[in-house]
Every structure is written in structure tokens, then in C-alpha cells.
DNA sequence: CGCTAACGTTAGTTTTAGCTAACGCGTGTA
DNA sequence: TACACGCGTTAGCTAAAACTAACGTTAGCG
């Protein structure tokens, strides 16, 4: 299980700038689909599709109130994402530490800061 | 500046499963472009393009050794990404906490756990 | 029941991203 | 200098994604 499918969906969903903007909108307040769509220059169906993608990725929740549908960000969706990123970088962080130590051991005299 | 361009590139780069696989490869060891390409079924130019995307996103470093180019994951690239995600979810976490408290205050008698 | 409002969904088009094939560039070797 | 090797880059094709326009569905009101 090198690559979780759920986290993959979340990552693909967040790759779209407009979907991140939507998430920012519903992070603080619960908003209706129409209110969210009004915040952008694209049509409402387009926003509706973005909401579907975000919902399938587990990044927001949907609640029905009459004919309206209210959306709100789902903080738990971030966890799986963070786990995936940490999993990828776990080895890299360890390797970087080893390299820094090795650099110090090899030549402190002619070696300056690498970056 | 609601959406940093640098983090945007990193997010788009990570949305591709093959690029995540490449990052996993160079997380522990420094590998040449040919070695990385040999690990996949796609052609070397395709891998080269992926490496360019990852490099531009600040997710890996390039080092030249003769005719070869060696790549290694860049752990600092994760930081900007984590900052962006935390920024988006900062409000959501706070809101979720408020909602849980409000739910407790409204009806502990007929309300059970929401999820 | 008819009517309106708020959405979601589908069909079809345009843009974007990844891939292969061919080529160009820099490095090392005889 | 000539040649081979290792990669990056470009052009062109194909598949995926985002968008618009038209239609379907459900909830509320008279």
C-alpha cells in the first residue's frame, strides 16, 4: 500500500485552484451551492461538479435544507493527506539529516552552507 | 495572496501518482535519471518531464556528475505544502470545534454522535 | 394540481496534461 | 577530431479534465 486511493483523490482534488478556493469559503461558514457559485465567474454546474469531486474526496460534507444543499469543509479529510505526505518524506528527512552530518565530518574548512 | 504559487506547483506535481512514485525512489537514495526511468514502463523522456515538474515545484534537487544527472528528494519542499494545507484547514478545525460544543449545548438528550 | 426555485446530471466542446518519437546538447574517450 | 553515451527538449498525438448549455429532479407554495 504505497499509495492510498483515498489520499490520491484528495490530492487530485486539491490540485485545482478553484477547488481550494471553495474549501476556503466553506472552511469557516456553511454555505449553499448557489452562494458558492456566486463567488466565482464560472457557471453553477461547474461549481456543482467541483463540489462533487471534493465530496468524493472526503474533503467536505453535504447537508440538505429544503431545496438547498449546504456544504462545509471536513477537517478529517486533511489527516489522510498529511499521512501520505509524511510517508513520502519520512525517508527523505532521515537522509537529509545523515547528509548534513556527513558534510560536517568531511570538510568544515572549505565547505560553507549549502543553501 | 490566498494561494501561493509555489505551493500550487507542488500540489499539482504531487497529484500525479507517477511523480509520487519518483519521489519515493529518490527519498532514500540519490539516483540518476536513467535509473529512475528504468523503474517505470514509460519512456525516459516522459520521466525526464516528470523530473522537470518536480524540480520546478521545489520537491527535488538536481546534481550533475559527468553526463549523468543525479536527483534527490528535497524535504524542505514539504514545508510550503504543509503550510498551505494548514492555512486552508485552520478555520475548519476551529469551526468544527465550535460546532461540537454547540451540539452538546443544544441537545445531549436526543442527539447522539454525528459520525 | 400547476408553478417556481435551487440543485444535480448529462451531452458535447474546449482546454490541459502526459505520452511517444525524433532531435539537440554537453560530456567523456580514443 | 570523431564517436558514443546520457539526458533534456520539442513536436505532435491522445486521453483526461474543466467548462457551457440543455434537461431532469426534488422541495415548497398557491
Q: What is the pLDDT averaged over residues B97-113?
A: 54
How many CB atoms are closer than 10 A to CB A35? 15
Alpha-carbon separation of residue B91 from A3, A30, A81, B42, B72 (angstroms): 28, 12, 17, 42, 35
Identify any residues that bridge with A32 across adjacent strands, giving them in sequence order. Answer: A70
Mutate to test the interface with B, among A20, A29, A99 (most CBs of B within 10 A): A20
A79 vs B57, higher pLDDT: B57
How many Å lie between the alpha carbon of A5 and the closest alpha carbon of chain B? 10
> If pLDDT is split at 50, 70 and 90, which confidence band does B102 have?
low
- pLDDT tens, position by position, B81-99: 888 888 888 767 776 666 6
B17-50: string of b/e by CB count within 10 Å (b at 16+)? eebbbbbbbbbeebbebeebbeeeeeeeeebeeb
pLDDT score, position B114: 36
Nucleotide showing the shortest C1' distance to residue B37 CA: D7
Q: pTM for the whole thing?
A: 0.83
pLDDT score, position A105: 57
B70 touches chain A (CB under 8 A): no
Q: Note the CA–C1' distance, A109 to D7, in angstroms.
A: 34
A91 touches chain B (CB under 8 A): yes
Residue B15 has its nearest CB partner, among A15, A20, A93, at A15
- pLDDT tens, position by position, A12-28: 999 999 999 999 999 98
A12: Cβ under 7 Å from strand D?
yes
Residue B91 has its nearest CB partner, among A14, A28, A91, at A28
CB pairs under 8 A between A and B: 91
For A85, name the nearest residue in chain B, comparing CA atoms only: B78
For chain A, give the mean pLDDT.
Answer: 85
Q: Which residue, chain included where needed, has cell 536513467?
A: B34
B78: Cβ under 7 Å from strand D?
no
Amino acid at each position: 500500500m504505497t499509495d492510498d486511493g483515498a489520499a490520491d483523490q484528495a490530492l487530485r482534488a486539491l490540485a485545482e485552484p478553484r477547488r481550494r478556493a471553495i474549501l476556503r469559503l466553506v472552511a469557516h461558514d456553511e454555505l449553499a451551492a448557489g452562494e458558492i457559485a456566486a463567488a466565482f465567474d464560472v457557471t453553477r454546474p461547474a461549481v456543482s461538479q467541483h463540489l462533487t469531486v471534493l465530496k468524493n474526496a472526503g474533503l467536505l460534507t453535504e447537508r440538505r435544507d429544503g431545496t438547498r444543499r449546504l456544504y462545509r469543509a471536513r477537517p478529517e479529510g486533511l489527516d489522510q493527506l498529511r499521512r501520505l505526505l509524511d510517508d513520502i518524506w519520512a525517508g527523505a528527512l532521515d537522509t537529509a539529516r545523515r547528509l548534513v552530518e556527513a558534510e560536517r565530518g568531511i570538510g568544515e574548512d572549505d565547505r560553507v552552507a549549502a543553501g
